[in-house]
């Protein structure tokens, strides 16, 4: 296979060594599965009928009164800078090593560099710097034993899979975080819809989580308040990329000039380092440098909030949190990726004395420190606290009337037009206008005292307010589910793997897979199906066609590294929500889907079918969680003895829109959609939370929906002023503030990692008084009683149409969407500028979504659901239950 020359220039590849004699021979339980072998998914035909059908549906359903979506080809849109061009990596930012002097800063002798890699002094490095020692594909190429590659299941063709740190991480949404094209479109529409808010401030907030290294490094180099703007993401060294590798040229702006007087478009060489660091997404050093500055990894949690600043950031904005409950008991930290970094050390979970640190310390010039919570004697890399800063996202709620020097949107000035804007505590009564002058081009929504801050997501606080929360390293942590332990097939208590593959005779260390996945399949499939547009290479040119295992067998190697991530999503959703699908320290299977359904009872009398269901959330947070536009819903069917459908609630059309009963397309191309699927508008259009479903037009949708300050439903991240509905499934043990008696005792309940249980309860309480009509959540015990939390009980009382065949059984499934059509339609609407057309990220998302193939030959891995298709019509099926009707 072809080797990339830059790796050879910087690193010596591992030498061929004999296989060490170990009880752990590299096999694990459960072994990896690749249902489609080494074959990637394929998109819909370019500008074909299927893509045109997608465009026609959105134009007719959502955009009939505005600009129409065009049918685009891949050459019509802006491509992301590729990870590599030929043998040159555009993402290689490395630390200075012996023989490789720094060339990435203006003061370096080799500046400006004529090509990659970019070599820096005490700066961040991209994941490729770590790859030489932590990627089993490289080790195989060097002639050694692939100890971190494993068998696949017997019922599938046997392949070897790269489960090394780099191999797993390289195929994750974390690694691809800044290349997420839907996220990029969301940023673009936020800046477009808030014309007086500084776009550089908005973009910097977003990149602080998704592209932390680039965002943090430019602040370190040019001042902490230097913003990272989207233009920098596209910065590469001049002369590297050909026109064939660029797609449509990116339109650099004149407003992005973090280095004074130097715009990115005119001086890309000044910003190439920051662009490469950001394009590495949530990279190795994003996590492995978190620690007390100058503390050599030693962290001691204390009773004072300041001791948690290392993970949660300082307390600068709590007075901007507007809700009364938050004013009573606000978070004492900024969160939103404001953790501390120790740029002198790489943090590791094990004692340094137990590691072979020579390659990192001598060859790479890196100091190593154990990341240790000294109070609990546990590595904080194995605790959920390290995940909290990015999974509590506090962002501005920008008023519609926001304008520098403009009047506040209070009732006295605007009447009741902005009824959901509340004056935050920071905005004292003597303030009448937003900060700045009316002659200013932009205002800063992050620091303006009259702009409220709110939660875009609070997944970490949901976990704290659950029975999963613990300060220990166990299966209930974030890592316990999203970084599953490998388990020795011969010894269930052995979770070790060889970490430093170039050194023979090392003792295996406890190893958690770096797969870091949720269940966002549609976005992940965009990388698989459109690698050129999104700048990724599906195939690892360091992986051989075949390799010899430690058992002496030669097996084919999975060279399409993205398939690691594809299967991780299927497994996380359907069989490994608890991590590795095993009981703790056991080889006994314990497959758990993210959500499971039990049919408690059924009956049929005449033409009426009744069924009682229990829906259980197995996740350690709400379902869905994270970005608020995701949703889960129940598909319930009544079938006859031949399997013919007699009745249905929750069917989707080919574009993911939910129909009222069986989906039917009219002659004019319209569909019988639920009112909730139509353009954003009144909260009354939403499906309420149902305790009983009696009609096909009633669908149980688990979701959070919000309104802007005018009361209009919205999915804009910076306009989420008030929850219109939140009936997402709660995690087990979830407790409301009233049940904790927080009003009388704010300290009630256990404190986890410096967060009072009442603080978490106030921040995550569901909307018990929604703006939807007829909701039952305020009286539903599964949302009010902590002993019942983690589930929902729902009944179906179905009257079949006259003349129906005899009903035989019922079938129900949990369906899940990460990109519902209504959310996508608002991105299309918000990303258009009159007289200019669609903005670059929006235009790219139109092409990708219209050509994305979501009907794939993937199946559930849960033993209850053999052969169950996993993805169809922009929807993934997480679990299905079926039961005969009791006569």
Residue 327: count of CB within 10 angstroms of its CB: 14
Residue 703 lies in a domain: yes
Cα 264 to the center of its chain, rounded Å: 28
Residue in the structure block whose two tokens are 């790489």: 346
Residue 375: count of CB within 10 angstroms of its CB: 12
DSSP 399: -
Residue in the structure block whose two tokens are 């947070």: 621
Residue in the structure block whose two tokens are 């009907």: 855
Q: How confident is the model at residue 148 (pLDDT cuts 50, 70, 90)?
A: very low
The percentage of the chain sitting over the pLDDT mark of 70, rounded to a whole number, equals 89
- Helix 49-61 and helix 821-830: axis angle, to 10°? 80
Q: Kindly write down the DSSP assignment for every residue of 562-581, as one continuous string.
A: HHHHHHHHHHHHHTBTTSSS
DSSP E strands: which ranges in 226-371? 298-299, 346-348, 368-370
Residue 186 lies in a domain: no
Residue 489 lies in a domain: no
Residue in the structure block whose two tokens are 């009003």: 743
Angle at 273 between CA 8 and CA 841, to 5 degrees: 115
List alpha helices for 507-665, DSSP H.
Answer: 521-529, 531-534, 562-574
Domains held by the chain: number: 2
| Tens of pLDDT, residues 28-45 | 667 777 888 888 999 999
Using the predicted structure, report yes or no on whether residue 15 has a pLDDT greater than 70.
no
Rounded CA gap, 516 and 514, in Å?
6
Rounded CA gap, 697 and 282, in Å?
42
Q: Which of 406, 300, 465, 364 is nearest to 125 (CA)?
A: 364
pLDDT averaged over every residue in the chain: 88
Q: What is the mean pLDDT of residues 822-850?
A: 97
Pairing between β-strand 791-799 and β-strand 692-693 as defined by DSSP bridges: parallel
Q: What is the mean pLDDT of residues 366-387?
A: 94
Q: What is the mean pLDDT of residues 639-646?
A: 97
Q: What sign does the CA torsion over 187, 189, 194, 196 have?
A: positive
pLDDT at res. 571: 95
Q: Do 394 and 335 touch, CB atoms closer than 8 A?
A: yes
| Tens of pLDDT, residues 161-218 | 788 888 899 999 999 999 999 999 999 999 999 999 999 999 999 999 999 999 999 9
Maximum distance among all alpha carbons in the chain?
87
Q: What is the mean pLDDT of residues 485-506?
A: 69
Residue 712: count of CB within 10 angstroms of its CB: 16
Name the residue range of residue 454's domain. Answer: 285-464
Cβ partners under 8 Å of residue 773, min gap 6: 684, 688
Q: What sign does the CA torsion over 359, 360, 365, 370 have?
A: negative
Residue 675 phi, psi (nearest 5): -55, -30
Rounded CA gap, 186 and 142, in Å?
43
Q: How confident is the model at residue 19 (pLDDT cuts 50, 70, 90)?
A: very low
- The strand pairing partners of 729, in sequence order, are 623
Residue 39 or 54, more confident: 54
Residue 509 lies in a domain: no
817's tokens: 């969407």
Cβ partners under 8 Å of residue 804, min gap 6: 607, 640, 646, 647
Rounded CA gap, 566 and 159, in Å?
15
Residue 683 phi, psi (nearest 5): -60, -25
- SS3 (DSSP) at 795: strand
Q: Do 797 and 608 touch, CB atoms closer than 8 A?
A: yes
Residue 374 lies in a domain: yes
Q: How confident is the model at residue 317 (pLDDT cuts 50, 70, 90)?
A: low
Q: Any idea how long the chain is?
A: 887
Domain end marker among 433, 464, 495: 464
Pairing between β-strand 496-497 and β-strand 509-510 as defined by DSSP bridges: antiparallel
848's tokens: 């990708």
pLDDT at res. 87: 76
Rounded CA gap, 233 and 254, in Å?
15
Radius of gyration of the chain (CA): 27
Residue 858 lies in a domain: yes
Rounded CA gap, 544 and 548, in Å?
10
545's tokens: 């066609």
Cβ partners under 8 Å of residue 261, min gap 6: none
Q: What is the mean pLDDT of residues 640-655?
A: 98
DSSP 676: G
H-helix or E-strand containing 632?
strand 631-640
Cα 862 to the center of its chain, rounded Å: 23
Q: What is the mean pLDDT of residues 501-511?
A: 64
Asked if residue 30 has a cis previous peptide bond (ω within 30° of 0), the answer is yes
875: exposed, middle or buried (C-beta count within 10 Å: 0-12, 13-18, 19+)?
Answer: buried
Rounded CA gap, 223 and 143, in Å?
46
Domain end marker among 420, 437, 464: 464
Domain end marker among 464, 480, 500: 464
Count the alpha carbons within 13 Å of 871 in the hemisphere toward its beta carbon. 24
Q: Which of 182, 402, 287 is nearest to 842 (CA)?
A: 182
Q: How confident is the model at residue 5 (pLDDT cuts 50, 70, 90)?
A: very low
Rounded CA gap, 733 and 787, in Å?
6
pLDDT at res. 573: 98
Using the predicted structure, report yes or no on whether residue 526 has a pLDDT greater than 90.
yes
405: exposed, middle or buried (C-beta count within 10 Å: 0-12, 13-18, 19+)?
Answer: middle
pLDDT at res. 146: 41
DSSP 792: E
Q: What is the mean pLDDT of residues 694-721?
A: 96
Pairing between β-strand 298-299 and β-strand 84-85 as defined by DSSP bridges: unpaired
Using the predicted structure, report yes or no on whether residue 269 has a pLDDT greater than 90.
yes
Rounded CA gap, 345 and 733, in Å?
38
First to last CA, the chain: 65
522: exposed, middle or buried (C-beta count within 10 Å: 0-12, 13-18, 19+)?
Answer: buried
Cβ partners under 8 Å of residue 801, min gap 6: 646, 647
Rounded CA gap, 559 and 540, in Å?
6
pLDDT at res. 55: 99
Using the predicted structure, report yes or no on whether residue 479 has a pLDDT greater than 70.
yes
Using the predicted structure, report yes or no on whether residue 21 has a pLDDT greater than 70.
no
pLDDT at res. 878: 99
Residue 102 lies in a domain: no
**3-state per-residue secondary structure call for 174-188:** CCCHHHCHHHHHHHH
| Tens of pLDDT, residues 565-620 | 999 999 999 999 999 898 988 889 999 999 999 999 999 998 999 999 999 999 99
pLDDT at res. 538: 83
Q: Do 511 and 496 touch, CB atoms closer than 8 A?
A: yes
Residue in the structure block whose two tokens are 């989420």: 720
804's tokens: 């129906």
Residue 289 lies in a domain: yes
Q: How confident is the model at residue 103 (pLDDT cuts 50, 70, 90)?
A: very high
Count the alpha carbons within 13 Å of 482 in the hemisphere toward its beta carbon. 18
Lowest mean pLDDT segment, chosen from 37-51, 284-298, 304-318, 422-436: 304-318
Q: Do 389 and 397 touch, CB atoms closer than 8 A?
A: no
198's tokens: 């500084």
Using the predicted structure, report yes or no on whether residue 836 has a pLDDT greater than 70.
yes
């Amino acid at each position: 296979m072809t080797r990339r020359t830059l790796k050879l220039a910087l690193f010596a590849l591992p030498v061929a060594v004999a296989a060490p004699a170990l009880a752990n021979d590299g096999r694990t339980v459960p072994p990896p599965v690749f249902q489609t072998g080494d074959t990637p998914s394929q998109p819909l035909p370019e500008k074909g009928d299927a893509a045109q059908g997608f465009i026609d549906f959105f134009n007719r359903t959502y955009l009939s009164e505005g600009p129409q979506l065009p049918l685009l080809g891949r050459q019509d849109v802006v491509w992301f800078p590729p990870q590599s061009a030929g043998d040159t990596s555009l993402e290689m930012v490395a630390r200075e090593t012996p023989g490789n002097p720094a060339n990435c800063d203006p003061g370096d002798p080799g500046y400006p560099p004529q090509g990659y890699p970019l070599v820096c002094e005490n700066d961040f490095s991209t994941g490729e710097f770590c790859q030489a020692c932590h990627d089993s594909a490289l080790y195989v190429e060097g002639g050694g034993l692939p100890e971190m590659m494993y068998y696949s299941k017997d019922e599938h063709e046997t392949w070897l899979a790269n489960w090394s740190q780099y191999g797993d991480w390289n195929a994750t949404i974390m690694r691809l975080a800044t290349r997420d094209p839907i996220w990029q479109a969301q940023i673009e529409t936020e800046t477009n819809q808030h014309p007086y808010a500084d776009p550089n401030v908005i973009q910097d907030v977003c990149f602080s989580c998704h592209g932390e290294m680039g965002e943090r490094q430019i602040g370190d180099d040019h001042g902490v308040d230097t913003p990272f703007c989207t233009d920098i993401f596209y910065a590469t060294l001049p002369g590297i990329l050909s026109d064939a590798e660029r797609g449509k040229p990116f339109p650099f702006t004149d407003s992005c000039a973090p280095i004074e007087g130097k715009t990115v478009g005119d001086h890309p060489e000044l910003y190439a380092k920051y662009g490469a660091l950001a394009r590495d997404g949530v990279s190795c050093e994003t996590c492995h440098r978190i620690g007390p500055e100058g503390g050599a990894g030693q962290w001691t949690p204390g009773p004072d909030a300041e001791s948690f600043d290392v993970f949660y950031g300082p307390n600068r904005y709590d007075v901007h949190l507007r809700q009364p409950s938050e004013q009573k008991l606000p978070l004492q930290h900024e969160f939103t990726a404001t953790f501390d970094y120790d740029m002198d050390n790489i943090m590791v979970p094990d004692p340094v004395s137990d590691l072979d640190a020579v390659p990192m310390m001598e060859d790479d010039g890196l100091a190593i420190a154990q990341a240790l919570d000294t109070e609990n004697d546990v590595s904080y890399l194995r605790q959920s606290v390290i995940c909290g800063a990015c999974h509590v996202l506090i962002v501005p709620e920008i008023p519609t009337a926001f304008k520098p020097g403009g009047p506040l949107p209070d009732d006295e000035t605007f009447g009741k037009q902005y009824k959901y804007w509340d004056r935050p505590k920071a905005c004292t009564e003597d303030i009448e206008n937003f900060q700045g002058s009316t002659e200013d081009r932009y205002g800063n929504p992050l620091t303006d005292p009259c702009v409220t801050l709110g939660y875009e997501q609070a997944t970490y606080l949901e976990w704290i307010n659950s029975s999963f929360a613990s300060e220990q390293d166990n299966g209930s942590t974030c890592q316990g589910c999203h970084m599953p332990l490998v388990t020795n097939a011969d010894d269930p208590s052995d979770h070790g793997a060889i970490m430093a593959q170039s050194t023979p005779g090392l003792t295996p260390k406890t190893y958690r897979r770096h797969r870091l996945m949720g269940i966002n399949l549609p976005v992940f499939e965009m990388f698989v199906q459109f690698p050129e547009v999104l700048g990724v290479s599906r195939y690892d040119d360091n992986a051989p066609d075949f390799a010899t295992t430690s058992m002496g067998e030669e097996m084919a190697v999975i060279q399409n590294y993205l398939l690691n991530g594809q299967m991780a999503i299927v497994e996380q959703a359907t069989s490994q929500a608890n991590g590795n699908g095993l009981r703790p320290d056991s080889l006994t299977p314990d497959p758990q889907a993210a959500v499971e359904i039990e049919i408690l009872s059924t009956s049929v009398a005449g033409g009426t079918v009744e069924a009682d269901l229990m829906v259980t959330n197995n996740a350690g947070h709400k379902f869905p969680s994270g970005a608020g536009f995701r949703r889960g819903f129940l598909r319930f069917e009544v079938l006859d003895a031949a399997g013919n459908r007699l009745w249905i609630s929750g069917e989707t059309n080919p574009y993911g829109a939910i129909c009222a009963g069986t989906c039917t397309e009219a002659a004019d191309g319209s569909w019988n959609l639920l009112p909730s699927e139509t353009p954003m508008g009144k909260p009354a259009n939403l499906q309420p939370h149902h305790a009983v479903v009696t009609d096909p037009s009633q669908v149980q949708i688990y979701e959070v929906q919000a309104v802007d300050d005018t009361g209009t439903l919205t999915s804009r991240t910076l306009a989420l002023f008030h929850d219109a509905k939140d009936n997402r499934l709660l995690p087990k043990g979830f407790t409301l503030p009233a049940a904790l008696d927080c009003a009388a005792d704010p300290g009630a309940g256990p404190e986890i990692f410096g967060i009072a249980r009442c603080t978490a309860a106030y921040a995550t309480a569901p909307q018990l008084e929604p703006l939807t009509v007829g909701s039952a959540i305020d009286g539903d015990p599964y949302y009010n009683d902590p002993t019942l939390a983690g589930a929902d009980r729902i009944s179906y009382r179905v009257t079949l149409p006259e003349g129906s065949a005899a009903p035989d059984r019922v079938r129900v499934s949990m369906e899940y969407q990460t990109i519902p059509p209504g959310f996508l339609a608002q991105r299309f609407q918000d990303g258009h500028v009159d007289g200019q057309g669609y903005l670059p990220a929006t235009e790219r998302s139109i092409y990708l979504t219209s050509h994305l193939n979501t009907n794939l030959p993937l199946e559930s891995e849960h033993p209850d659901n053999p052969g169950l298709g996993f993805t169809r019509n922009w929807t993934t099926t997480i679990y299905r239950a079926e039961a005969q009707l009791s006569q």
